[in-house]
C-alpha cells in the first residue's frame, strides 16, 4: 500500500470545497493508496499523473521506491460557457 502525501496548498484548497465534493476527492485519494495508476489516470510527463473527479483534476507524483503518492495540485476545469 502506498502512503499519501498532500501538499499544504492542496490541504487549504480542499478545506474550501463543498463537503460533498471534499468527500469525493478524499475518497479518490485513498483509492490511490491501493492503485496509484488506475485505468482512468493519465500520465502527463515523466513525474506527474492526473485523475479526474467530475470537473476537478488531481495532479500527483508517484515514488515507487518508497511507495508514496504526493498530491501536488487539485484544479477545477474551466467550463467553456
Specify the pTM.
0.88
CATH code of the domain containing 42: 3.30.2310.20
User: Number of structural domains, the chain?
Assistant: 1
Return the pLDDT at 46.
85
Long-range contacts of 14-22 (CB under 8 A, 24+ apart): 14/74, 21/53, 21/54, 21/56
pLDDT tens per residue, range 10-64: 999 999 999 999 999 999 999 999 999 999 999 999 889 999 988 899 999 999 9
Average of per-residue pLDDT across 2-9: 95
Q: Please give the distance of CA 71 from its chain centroid, rounded to a whole number.
A: 5
Give the residue with greater pLDDT, 33 vs 80.
33
Residue 7 belongs to what domain range? 3-76
The CA dihedral of 8, 12, 18, 19, to the nearest 10 degrees, is 60
Return the pLDDT at 47.
87
Return the pLDDT at 56.
92
Amino acid at each position: 500500500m502506498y502512503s499519501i502525501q498532500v501538499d499544504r496548498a492542496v490541504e487549504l484548497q480542499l478545506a474550501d470545497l463543498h463537503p460533498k465534493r471534499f468527500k469525493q476527492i478524499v475518497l479518490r485519494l485513498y483509492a490511490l493508496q491501493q492503485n496509484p495508476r488506475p485505468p482512468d489516470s493519465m500520465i502527463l510527463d515523466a513525474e506527474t499523473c492526473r485523475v479526474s473527479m467530475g470537473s476537478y483534476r488531481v495532479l500527483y507524483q508517484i515514488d515507487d521506491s518508497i511507495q508514496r503518492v504526493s498530491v501536488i495540485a487539485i484544479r477545477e476545469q474551466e467550463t467553456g460557457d
